[in-house]
Amino acid sequence: MGAALATVAVLAGGLALLPMTERGFVLPNALRSSGAPAALDFVGSESCAGCHQAENALWKESQHKHAMQHATLASVLGNFDDASFDYFGVHSRFFKKDSKLFVETDGPDGKLTTFEVKYTFGIDPLQQYLIEFPDGRVQALSIAWDSRPKGQGGQRWFHLYPDEEIKHDDVLHWTKLNQNWNFMCAECHSTGVRKNYDAATDRFATTWREISVGCEACHGKGSRHVNWARSQRSWFGKDDDPLKGLAVFLNERDGVTWNSDPKTGNPQRSVAPAITRREVETCGLCHARRGAFSEDWVPGHPLSDTHTITPLAPGLYHADGQMHDEVYNYGPFKQSKMFAAGVTCSDCHEPHAARLRTPGDGVCVQCHASDKYEVASHNRHEGVTPAVTCASCHMPVSTYMGVDKRHDHSLRIPRPDLSAKLGTPNACNTCHADKSAQWAADAIERWHGPLRKGFQNYAEAFQASWTDRTDAALLLAAVAGEPTAPAIARASALGELRSRVSPTNIELARKGLVDPDPMVRVGALDMLEGVPGERIWPLVSPLLTDPSGGVRIRAVSVLAAVPPADRPASDRAAFAQAEAEFVAAQRLNADRPEARSALGSFYARRRLTADAESEYKAALRLSPQYAPAAINLADLYRQLGRDGDGEGILRTAISSSRQDAGLRHALGLTLIRQKRRDDALDEFRTATELEPDQSHYAYVYAVALHSSGRVDESIEVLKKNLARHPDDRDILLALATFSRDAGNVAEALDYAERLSRITSNDRGAAALVDALRRQLNKPSAQ
């Protein structure tokens, strides 16, 4: 790759940016002060512009520069000339008054109210608008402006949820939690953000150092660099060649080697793979599906140090790793062969303008020979209009936020064969929607032969896990143990093994805990979460002092249930420090029910029941619909013998979220404990109807029916569930025993034999088969 890293780029005008240490810019040894360095601080993009004029000019035209702006007549793109928009009976109006911009729309109580538009968000292909409330909350309107040209369907108001009615009491309503700028958006649309949420008053005092995405959003605080540049201008030398002097100390940088270009005499850089990773981590801050637990992010450091990165999970990714929901680019790109080969973001995207370095396929043929890949023998679409590009097949597009088309950055080969087998999407049928996946797979085989190489080879493992197939553990173990598999895939596979930990795969967790990638270490901790802490303390406790903050707080969470007296004395200080970090991480996000509930569960495992109760209640105050907090609080009350209180909590949550199967199931369990069987059956039935693919709900409902003497109904529920989950062991065992007890021994034997086939080492299943065979006077299978 010929493109230089943004963080160490050398341009003809002089020094683009000094290389960075953990906390700021590094100076050559000869220029370092012998005294303590001054504290780092933000200086603003204007301070950078004087020396870095070329980069500044590119940045000023970028979307980063316009990520967030004060709403003015100049910055607003939408039609505020008394324009209107109707959405499920709500008539919204956009207008101007005294050079200010306003919207009249449904407020937090559902009534039409006038709000001043304070900020704009983005410019292309849409622009959103932000409203500031007296308590410091800033909320993003769900009615946005389509800024595309009219010929592309733009220049109009549209709603981000056009096909569903989002009412004022919905968490997705523009005035509610999931449209809150302070938590959801601020970190990535501004520079130097501090959320400053006060849990005691439920107010925000959020600040930024620069309203948009400026230089220091990516390069870090620049005060030392600016001070040096102002005081050491003479360092560049008297020969008017600053690049020669620059090369002297750039050689100090770990992993970066600067040599003279034999033609020009200018420095050339070669970069070790670890350095290219730093840029991807820097871009990942905002181009990843993640959640922040610390505001002390350092450019170039692993994102896992300060953020929880979403693994490959159903609903977010397809089983093969293609993006499904809006996961942005970081997770997909880290699955790619390009990332594995050392390609980095700025090889394809000019980092200051934030646009492709060259148009169309020109980006790809920087590395991939045009005479091999830009030919009909490769793409097989000669003469097609519009022309098929590299991205058409290898970076298929999905549309988010109504009009925003995003390319999948996993850069994979099309796999219609997987579509035919597993139902995953593929680029071929995106265009050829009238054809079957098998038709596309056959075409690919004719053109390129029967062997599908590919780089991402874990689709079947995740599909097996997400559908609870019996071979899931074996397939996931193969992914987790494959050293050439992408780290994000290995981490995700380890996490999926959480419910399948066994003596045969525990070694995978052991190896994962010492993996160089912190996301894999977190995945290994996820795998061990259900294992009693005293059994895994020797494995996990070293990670209480892991270099990555994300690993430390996950480790202490996994070990939380171990009583203080049972912790080795040598580990107690490390545990206490990691515990403090975990609590601080949740306190940072005390405005979110997820964080309050997570802290409640942590306290519950620590047997601090009063603190746990307080956190769960705080979560429900923030969002009465947040089911996990209600379920966890009800379970806490179960442990305390307060099932009546648990019932009340669950019923209140159900009144706000009637369609949540988990709440209904939990209420059913609570009623069973209170010996109110008929009421419990109603809740179990509702849970099963709301989530028919959740096998456990149907199983519990069937067992409850059987216990009530409704045997035929119980067996019918189990049979319907077995059709959806043919390898479910609990369902098969229940059908075998219930059928046997009902006198249907032959049918019971059939279920028992199926169970025995998928649990070959289960002596209990084998014994059940033998007993049923004896009842039928059949010879033993042995």
What does the alpha-carbon distance between residue 457 and residue 530 come to, in Å, rounded to a whole number?
28
Q: Using DSSP, state whether 399 is helix, strand or coil.
A: strand
Ranges of H-type helices in 640-676: 643-656, 661-673
- Contact indicator for 105, 92 with CB cutoff of 8 Å: yes
Identify the H or E element spanning 301.
Answer: none
- What secondary structure does DSSP assign to 322-378, as a single string? -B-SS-BTHHHHTTSHHHHTT--HHHHEETTTTEESSSGGGTGGGTS-HHHHSSHHH
Contacts of 127 (CB under 8 A, 6+ apart): 76, 77, 78, 120, 121, 144, 145, 147
What one-character DSSP code corresponds to residue 469? -
What's phi and psi for 172, nearest 5 deg? -90, -5
Look-up of token digits 């403090």: 580
> How many angstroms separate the Cα of 624 from the Cα of each of 137, 497, 611, 708, 766?
19, 32, 19, 33, 48
The single-letter code of the amino acid at 409 is H
Q: Are strands 143-146 and 10-11 parallel, antiparallel or unpaired?
A: unpaired
What one-character DSSP code corresponds to residue 781? -
What does the alpha-carbon distance between residue 401 and residue 380 come to, in Å, rounded to a whole number?
33
pLDDT value of position 766: 86
Task: Provide the Cα torsion 450, 456, 460, 465; round to 10°.
Answer: 180
pLDDT value of position 262: 44
What does the alpha-carbon distance between residue 654 and residue 700 come to, in Å, rounded to a whole number?
20
What does the alpha-carbon distance between residue 91 and residue 127 come to, in Å, rounded to a whole number?
20
Listed residue (587, 575, 504) closest to 544, CA to CA: 575
pLDDT in tens, 322-369: 999 999 999 999 999 999 999 999 999 999 999 999 988 999 999 999
Strand partners, 90: 87
Q: Using DSSP, state whether 414 is helix, strand or coil.
A: coil
pLDDT value of position 274: 55
Identify the H or E element spanning 140.
Answer: strand 138-140
Contacts 24+ apart (CB under 8 A), 606-610: 606/560, 606/561, 607/563, 609/636, 609/639, 609/640
Strand partners, 129: 120
Q: Measured over all CA atoms, what is the biggest interatomic distance in the chain, rounded to whole angstroms?
A: 103
What does the alpha-carbon distance between residue 105 and residue 78 come to, in Å, rounded to a whole number?
16
What does the alpha-carbon distance between residue 480 and residue 492 come to, in Å, rounded to a whole number?
8
Rounded mean pLDDT for each run of 10 residues along the chain, 782 residues in total: 31 33 42 61 94 94 96 97 97 97 97 98 96 98 97 97 94 96 96 97 97 95 88 48 35 36 43 66 96 94 96 97 96 96 93 92 92 87 88 94 96 95 95 95 92 91 94 96 97 97 94 97 97 93 97 98 94 97 98 98 97 98 95 97 97 90 97 96 96 94 96 95 91 94 92 86 83 80 51
pLDDT in tens, 111-125: 999 999 999 999 999
What does the alpha-carbon distance between residue 560 and residue 544 come to, in Å, rounded to a whole number?
11
- Contact indicator for 343, 329 with CB cutoff of 8 Å: no
- Contact indicator for 77, 147 with CB cutoff of 8 Å: yes
The single-letter code of the amino acid at 385 is T
pLDDT value of position 411: 95
> How many angstroms separate the Cα of 23 from the Cα of each of 38, 299, 739?
12, 8, 67
pLDDT in tens, 710-736: 999 999 999 999 999 998 999 999 999
What's phi and psi for 290, nearest 5 deg? -160, 170
What does the alpha-carbon distance between residue 663 and residue 650 come to, in Å, rounded to a whole number?
6
In terms of Cβ atoms closer than 10 Å to its own Cβ (0-12, 13-18, 19+), residue 263 is exposed
- What secondary structure does DSSP assign to 557-594, as a single string? HHTTTS-GGGS-GGGHHHHHHHHHHHHHHHHHTTTSHH
- Contact indicator for 555, 540 with CB cutoff of 8 Å: yes
What does the alpha-carbon distance between residue 440 and residue 419 come to, in Å, rounded to a whole number?
9
- Using the Cα atoms of residue 380, residue 386, residue 388 and residue 394 in order, give the sign of their dihedral: negative
Q: Copy the structure tokens of residue 688.
A: 């099963």
pLDDT value of position 275: 54
pLDDT value of position 265: 42
Q: Using DSSP, state whether 101 is helix, strand or coil.
A: strand
Query: Measured at the alpha carbon of residue 686, what is the angle toward residues 755 and 676, in degrees to the nearest 5?
Result: 90
Q: How far apart are the first and last CA of the chain?
A: 63
pLDDT value of position 520: 98
What does the alpha-carbon distance between residue 235 and residue 232 come to, in Å, rounded to a whole number?
6
Question: For 168-277, where are the E strands, in sequence order?
Answer: 197-198, 203-204, 256-260, 267-271
- Contact indicator for 746, 776 with CB cutoff of 8 Å: yes
- Other Cβ atoms less than 10 A from the Cβ of 255: the count is 14
| CA 11 from centroid of its chain's CA atoms | 36
Listed residue (28, 1, 4) closest to 247, CA to CA: 28
pLDDT value of position 757: 87
pLDDT in tens, 634-652: 999 999 999 999 999 999 9
